[in-house]
Amino acid sequence: MAGIRVQAEDFDVGAEIAALTAGRVDIGGIGCFVGTVRDHGAGRRITAMTLEHYPGMTEQAMARIAAEAEARWPLQGCTLIHRVGRLEPGANIVLVLTASPHRHAALDATAFLIDWLKTKAPFWKKECFADGSEAWVDAREADDQAAARWAATAP
Amino acid sequence: MAGIRVQAEDFDVGAEIAALTAGRVDIGGIGCFVGTVRDHGAGRRITAMTLEHYPGMTEQAMARIAAEAEARWPLQGCTLIHRVGRLEPGANIVLVLTASPHRHAALDATAFLIDWLKTKAPFWKKECFADGSEAWVDAREADDQAAARWAATAP
Amino acid sequence: MTGTVATAGTLRILYFAWLRERVGTSEETVALPATVTTVGELMAWLQTRGPGHAAAFAAGGTVRCAVNQDFAHADAAVRPGDEVAFFPPVTGG
Amino acid sequence: MTGTVATAGTLRILYFAWLRERVGTSEETVALPATVTTVGELMAWLQTRGPGHAAAFAAGGTVRCAVNQDFAHADAAVRPGDEVAFFPPVTGG
């Protein structure tokens, strides 16, 4: 049911919302999160980042977590898009959209899904710095804690 | 700093995100909520709703709550748009956009602002039913509780 | 300056939602009796202005008020020149 | 069928992020020794295949694995025909 995409191209948030809600008159609210590339990380200026994924496994895992969100909250639809390849500061990285009759369900599911995408989905990020050097980003403990909080709580 | 609008016209979520983030490379994420008109309420089918506001007071109150959100969370920008007048099922009612370096700040501020808009902002909603009758919507206790939870918690 | 004057000046009063419908107008300017110095006193006095006003303020507890565009309680002061608005509990979004 | 055969079939192995860079390839098909039946045994055996492989698996603790596209621990079984992937902890979004 959920729309799941991993793609190099940019996405259009307005068009994705329109696609999710087209012809529906039973939706109360749409929760949305758009992640974008920041020009700095760990105190260093970033000129670009490159995102890699595991084709097949990534999409499967995204479909599974979307199904879990749909089981936890009364969602009427859900869209997850994650970009891969080279992305420059200001570019969109990831989109989460959820539709629900209830605003808290939509926003809680959005937070749950972006926490998972940031901490559990098979993507790897390499940062490119102003001096030409590059480095793979280390997984951050704060992100693991953010995802862990969903393990113990029911909506 | 926040963009505050009360208007009869529809809004374009993609265009509003573009305006909020234009030229910026320091934003990590955009939290967003779009409220839409449902075709039923309290078990009855709704053919339209009419929203009324208090010109002047409403915009002032929206600017104050946006400033409070900007004080509570590290926001880089914020847009609040609320429509008034006659709206049919499926139509957009309200938009909350927040930009932050941190996703939890963006999403928590979005939830805070939509709870406030739903429960404290000077808007009044009248529902029109299939049989031609109309009724002003009663304030719901659940909404007051949703807004009250922000009173006691720091981000 | 005190009790001997019949009115203390004018007040702009706004009504929203079903209060507007019951009163029959969205706005009126009234000559404020000198005896009316609070929101609660103003509501009691407005009820005497006609059947529409009486109907609007009959369900006392669910009427909310703002004085000069700030939410105000029944004991809040009203002064000549103020803008006072009456409306039901808000139901936005 | 048992210990007497030198290999038990082939395994498709994928590498991502800095594991891919260190090994020098994103994918290889290896003849699986019959003695290798778990992810942990596979990692130990892969380290012996060359300096790139050795470098990739040197930082043991931070290597994650998936067997047939499901996250798997060191004691998970590997069988001929499986797709096994090695990668660092994920850093998406």
pLDDT for A107 beyond 70: yes
| Cα nearest neighbour of A117 on chain B | B103
Cα(D52)–Cα(D48) distance, integer angstroms: 10
Can you give the pLDDT at residue B136? 92
Q: Does A19 touch chain D (CB under 8 A)?
A: no
Say which amino acid occupies A152: A
Q: Which residue has the tokens 């880089």?
A: B76
Residue B109's H or E segment, with its range, is helix B103-119
Distance from CA of A133 to the nearest CA of D (A): 14
Do B17 and A13 count as a contact with CB atoms less than 8 A apart?
A: yes
Contact present, C and D (at least 3 Cβ pairs less than 8 Å): no
The H or E element spanning position A152 is helix A141-152
The first and second tokens of residue B128, run together, are: 């029109």
Identify the band that residue C1 occupies on the pLDDT scale cut at 50, 70 and 90: very low
- Could A28 and B40 be called an inter-chain contact, meaning their C-beta atoms sit closer than 8 Å? no
Facing A29 at nearest CB: one of B13, B25, B34: B34
**pLDDT tens-digit series, residues D24-67:** 999 999 998 989 999 999 999 999 999 999 999 986 558 999 99
pLDDT of B138: 83
Q: Do A136 and D16 touch (CB under 8 A)?
A: no
CB contact under 8 A, D93 and A82: yes
Number of domains comprising chain A: 1
- Name the residue with higher pLDDT: B71 or C93: B71
B8 at the C interface (CB within 8 A)?
A: no
Nearest of A142, A143, A129 to residue A45 by alpha carbon: A129
Taking alpha carbons only, the member of D64, B54, D91 closest to residue C17 is B54
Nearest by Cα to B128 from B51, B47, B37: B47
Distances (CA, A) of A152 to A103, A146, A147, A149, B23: 22, 12, 10, 6, 40
A14-54 pLDDT, tens digit each: 999 999 999 999 999 999 999 999 998 777 899 999 999 99
Nearest to B94 by CA among B22, B30, B37: B37
User: How far does the CA of residue A94 sit from the closest CA of chain D (Å)?
Assistant: 6
List the helix and strand counts (H, then E) for chain D: 3, 5
Reported as a single tens digit per residue, the pLDDT across C45-60 is 999 999 999 999 986 5
Fill in the amino acid letter for A12: D
CB contact (8 A) between residue A60 and residue D93: no
CA B117, B119, B122, B128 dihedral sign is: positive
Q: Is the Cβ pair B121, C17 closer than 8 Å?
A: no
pLDDT at B110: 98
Q: What is the Cα–Cα distance from D49 to B153, expressed in whole angstroms?
A: 56
List the 22-51 stretch of B: residues with Cβ below 8 A of A. 23-40
D-chain residue closest to A80, CA distance: D93
> Does pLDDT of C88 surpass 70?
yes
Per CATH, the homologous superfamily of domain C10-87 is: Beta-grasp domain (3.10.20.30)
What is the per-residue pLDDT for B154? 46
B17 contacts on A by Cβ (under 8 Å):
13, 34
Reading the block at residue A60, the tokens are 């499967």
Residue ranges of A 87-116 with Cβ closer than 8 A to chain D: 93-94, 114
pLDDT at A41: 76
Taking the C-alpha atoms of residue C87 and residue C14, their distance in angstroms, rounded to an integer, is 8
Using one digit for the tens of pLDDT, what is the confidence trace for C11-57? Answer: 999 999 999 999 999 999 999 898 999 999 999 999 999 999 999 99
Q: A25, B12: Cβ pair inside 8 Å?
A: no
Residue D9: which pLDDT band, with cuts at 50, 70 and 90?
confident
The pLDDT value given to residue A2: 84
pLDDT at D2 over 50: no
CATH label of the domain that carries residue B19: 3.90.1170.40
Is D6 a residue whose pLDDT tops 60?
A: no
How many angstroms separate the CA of residue A10 from the nearest CA in chain D?
Answer: 14
pLDDT band at residue D4 under the 50/70/90 scheme: very low
Nearest Cβ partner for A33 among B31, B37, B89: B31
Among the listed residues A6, A133, A135, A91, the one whose alpha carbon sits nearest the alpha carbon of residue B28: A91
Three-class secondary structure of residue D34 per DSSP: coil
Shortest distance between the Cα of A7 and any Cα of chain B, in A, equals 19
Nearest to C23 by CA among C63, C58, C52: C52
Say if residues A36 and A114 touch (Cβ distance below 8 Å).
no
List all chains that touch chain B, counting a touch as 3 or more CB pairs closer than 8 Å.
Answer: A, C
If DSSP codes are grouped into helix, strand and coil, which group holds residue A91? coil
Domain range for A59? 2-152
Report CB contact under 8 Å: B34, A37: no
- Here the tokens at position A80 are 């997850």
- Residue among B77, B58, D3, C20 at smallest CA distance from A34: B77
The pLDDT value recorded for residue A47 is 95
Which tens digits make up the pLDDT trace of C52-85?
Answer: 999 999 865 589 999 999 999 999 999 999 999 9
A137 — contact with chain D (CB < 8 Å)?
A: yes
CB distance B104–A146 less than 8 Å? yes
> What pLDDT score was predicted for residue D52?
94
D91 contacts A54? CB cut-off 8 A: no
Instruction: Answer yes or no: are the C-beta atoms of C72 and C39 closer than 8 Å.
Output: yes
Distance from CA of B104 to the nearest CA of A (A): 8
Task: Using a CB–CB cutoff of 8 Å, tell me whether B21 touches chain C.
Answer: no
Q: Is A117 on the interface with B (CB under 8 A)?
A: no
CA distance B98 to B80: 9
CA distances from A95 to A47, A117, A132, C31, C81 (A): 22, 10, 29, 58, 51
Interface membership of B85 toward C (CB under 8 Å):
no
β-bridge partners, D30: D11
* Percent of chain D residues past pLDDT 90, beyond the cut: 78
Tell me the pLDDT band of C9, cut-offs 50, 70 and 90.
Answer: confident
Phi-psi region of B50 (alpha: psi -120 to 50; beta: other; left: phi over 0): beta
* Contact residues on chain C for B93, CB-CB shorter than 8 A: 93
Closest CA to B3 of B71, B99, B102: B99
CA distance D85 to D17: 11
Ranges of each domain in chain C: 10-87
Closest chain B residue by Cα to residue C66: B57
Per-residue pLDDT reduced to its tens digit, B91-103: 999 999 999 999 9
